[in-house]
Amino acid sequence: MTATPTTPPPVAEPMTAATRPSRVIPVALQGEVVEKLGSLNPATGRPWTSREVSAWLKEAHGVKASRMSVLRVQAHASDKANALVIEAIRAELRDDVIPARQKLMRALRHLDTITRESTSVKDVAASVSATTRALHELAHLGGVAAPVQVDLTSGGASLKLFLPDET
């Protein structure tokens, strides 16, 4: 048997403050952070959130790190960094949507009462404006509102307007 020459593996550049995913979370703990985020929290039975991992870091290791630091470590470890961060934020917002909806419904009932009792057009307009803004925000927070695109062309050609002949 002849030995074939092998090339040595590339040497990784040492991590600096600029290349590290987190300046707060030590490199030795970053693997544990990613593992936690990928597993179920035994206390809740649900996947660990970035806030829970942040609290765990402080309790177990004395490392005070924000939830965004935790998300940056997770994003750095994944090819889908942006999608992960967006999904994590949506997961945290999901728990806030139901109480926000209940609060909105109470406010809408109150606005409805004020509107019915008022004879001022200004009060009614303010009520409608507040209601519209609140519903708009709730739809965006809940993830049900998506941008709508309208195409006003017909295969690249402009549309023609046909009016009935005036006789």
User: In Å, how far are 77, 86, 145, 146 from 80, measured between CA atoms?
Assistant: 9, 10, 23, 22
pLDDT digits (tens, 9 = 90+) for 132-151: 887 787 777 666 666 555 55
DSSP string for residues in 65-108? --HHHHHHHHHHHSS-HHHHHHHHHHHHHHHHHHHHHHHHHHHH
% pLDDT > 90, the chain: 16
E strand map for the chain: 153-154, 157-158
Least Cα distance to 74 among 97, 99, 54, 45 occurs for 54
For residue 32, give the H/E element and its range: helix 27-37
Rounded to whole angstroms, how far apart are CA atoms 150 and 57?
48
Say how far apart CA 148 and CA 144 lie, in whole Å: 12
Q: Are 103 and 138 in contact (CB under 8 A)?
A: no
Q: How many CA atoms lie within 13 A of 54 on its CB side?
A: 14
Q: Tokens 């970053």 label which residue?
A: 30
Average pLDDT over residues 28-43: 89
Q: First and final CA of the chain: distance in angstroms?
A: 100
Question: pTM of the entire structure?
Answer: 0.41
pLDDT one-digit tens code per residue, 52-79: 999 999 999 999 999 999 988 888 877 5
For the chain, domain boundaries: 27-77, 96-142
pLDDT at res. 59: 94
Classified as helix, coil or strand, 154 is strand
